[in-house]
Chain A
Amino acid sequence: MKQMAMDLSPEWILLVGIALILIGEILLRENSSRFILGLIAGLTVTASGLFVILQGKEVISLFSDSYVSDPLIRSIKLLLIVGTLLVVILSFSEKLAAKGEYYLLLLSALLGAMTLVSAAELVMLFVSLELLSLSAYVLVGMHQERLASSEAAWKYVVYGGASSAFLLYGMSFFYGLTGTTSLTEMSGNLAVAFTNNNEMLLYLGFFLILVGIGFKIAAVPFHMWAPDIYQGAPTTITTFLAVVSKIAGFAFMLRFLGSLFGTQGIQSVLHGVVIPALLVLSILSMIVGNVIALKQFHLKRMLAYSSIGHAGYMIIAIITILLGGESVAYSSLYYYFVAYLLASTGTFAILQVVAQDKSPDRRVLSGLHKRSPLLAFCLSVFLLSLAGIPFTAGFIGKLTILVGAFGNSLFWVAGIMLLTTVISYYYYFRLIRQMYWQEDEKAEKERVSWSAGFVIALTLIGTFLFGIMPQILLQGIGSWFM
């Protein structure tokens, strides 16, 4: 019992934090500051992260294998925690965080994401995914006085509900044909199910689940929700969706496909159906995301399409993991996650500072160089990292994925990745040009709150550090997790 409490400690702590915030919200007066609740949220997330680190290399398996935690899973949990912590810090200066339930929902979404990463059982996967999604629906609609926010939340609920119905429908076929909800047992029974002349139902189940996962990670053709919701949601929540929710979705995808069709799975299905389907998703995401981003004026929409493109690159890394199943492929995906997390969070933090409450058009960046040279410099670095220019973390991330693709003879995909990266230069550089070469009548300096400044500084240091000395992170991942 005591051991179980220790094994689950990161989740327990989040639960305690949620309870504390709930009590605090009741005790605090209507118009008093909610900063203390934010502080509690930040501290709980940090404590949870520390416990994840403390668990080290231990391999944990609880509740008859429905909850698994190993170093690999823990490394992703740490990313989710860092992402949420940055969002919490960023929220300190948001008007919206004047409500206690904001932090509460943020923590419950993180709790859902963390159990999602650890789940190895269909029921657990589904419930964690819904905990993450339901919290996110409300968070998107948090700006109650703004029409765009409510509308985005509504669209998210409808699209999200339909996609989880697809996911569940697929899961029900997998359950029915293998007779178990545990992923480990299922991978054993799957070979039998295939010989029973029921392949068609299993393929159907696989594609239905792919719809659900594709929605979560915003891969084309299931990306329609992303631009609207990124645009309507409060900027801090957009950051959360683009970073934490997306990484959790990828972890889910990796776990599901890896344990069912991984190295021990059925090779013919992996090569005949799973990999081609993923290739289609990846290629479509890269092309559609990057090409449509070209003609976006709204900054958040543009970043939404660019993050769809990034999802395409990450799927390539997933494919190399499924094909090779080695740690090198995993560390390339992880590196990309880190680079993407740092650059996206930094970009959205600057967007929050520059655009304040306005809906950010590309023109708000005009002349930023004159007004606040430092901000303009930081944003340029983040954009360069997203584009994948040398000396930033994004470059190393893209490079390792490309090397992995070449190693597995995926030449076509690697070519498309290079091509779409070049396309993406156009819209990233256009923003940089807007900042440095466009004039604007607005002359006053941007006011940067301490919390936004802190987040920007942290992500800037990370982007440079991991861009110039990639071995730090690569060796760190290698020695700690493998």
Chain B
Amino acid sequence: MYLTSYLALAAILFCIGLYGVLTKRNAVMLLFSVELMLNAVNLNLVAFSRLGFFPNIEGQIFTFFTITVAAAEAAVGLAILIALYRKKETAEADQYNSLKG
């Protein structure tokens, strides 16, 4: 069945994204990885809305919302990263370690 292959692709994308979030040192790569996870969700939603058990348009509408919100989240993330970069002068996320107990 077609649906399974789309779901598998989405799962692989999600896992790559999660791996990136957990292991990448560069802060911009971290944001990319989060975007990858969100895009895996979009793929999932569109696949379900087209080939799912109950195909309907709602999944595609949902995708529009997630794309928009993901863009907003990336914008906020980059803005905060720039503010942080000005003080730390590095984009290596493991250098951001001043907060600890």
Contacts and interface: CB of A to CB of B under 8 A. Distances in A.
Nearest to B74: A161
A126 B96 CA distance: 29
A152 to B, nearest CB: 6
A138 B77 CA distance: 9
B62 A181 contact: yes
A140 to B, nearest CB: 9
Contact of B65 (A127, A180, A231): A127
Contacts of B1: none
Given A155-B96, A228-B99, A165 B34 contact: yes
Contact of A165 (B41, B48, B58): B41
Given A150-B83, A180-B54, A298-B101, A175 B45 contact: yes
A287 B93 CA distance: 30
B62 A162 contact: no
B62 A147 contact: no
A73 B73 CA distance: 28
Interface residues of B, number: 46
Interface string B7-32: 00000001001100100000100110
A138 B72 contact: no
A19 interface: no
Contacts of A196: 53
A196 B37 CA distance: 27
Interface residues of A, number: 50
Tell me what chain A mostly uses at the interface: helix, strand, loop, or mixed: helix
Interface in B60-101: 61-62, 65-66, 69, 72-73, 76-77, 79-81, 83-84, 87-88, 93, 96, 98-101
Given A165-B17, A165-B37, A165-B41, A297 B58 contact: no
A179 B69 contact: no
Interface stretch (A166-174, A382-390, A429-437, A464-472): A166-174
Nearest to A133: B73
B13 to A, nearest CB: 10
Interface string A427-450: 000000000000000000000000
B40 A169 contact: yes
Contacts of A126: 62, 65-66, 69
A183 interface: no
Contacts of B55: 179
B72 to A, nearest CB: 6
B73 A157 contact: yes
Contacts of B79: 138
10 contacts: A123-B61, A137-B80, A138-B80, A151-B84, A154-B96, A169-B37, A176-B52, A177-B52, A179-B53, A180-B54
Interface of A: 122-123, 126-127, 130, 134, 137-138, 141, 144, 147-148, 150-155, 157-158, 161-162, 164-166, 168-169, 171-173, 175-181, 189, 193, 196, 198, 227-228, 231-232, 295-298, 301
In the A-B complex, the 10 residue pairs with the closest CB atoms: A179-B54, A176-B48, A165-B37, A161-B34, A172-B44, A150-B84, A228-B99, A168-B41, A157-B77, A153-B80
Given A157-B76, A164-B38, 14 more contacts: A123-B58, A126-B62, A134-B73, A137-B80, A138-B76, A152-B99, A153-B84, A161-B31, A162-B18, A168-B41, A168-B66, A175-B58, A179-B52, A297-B101
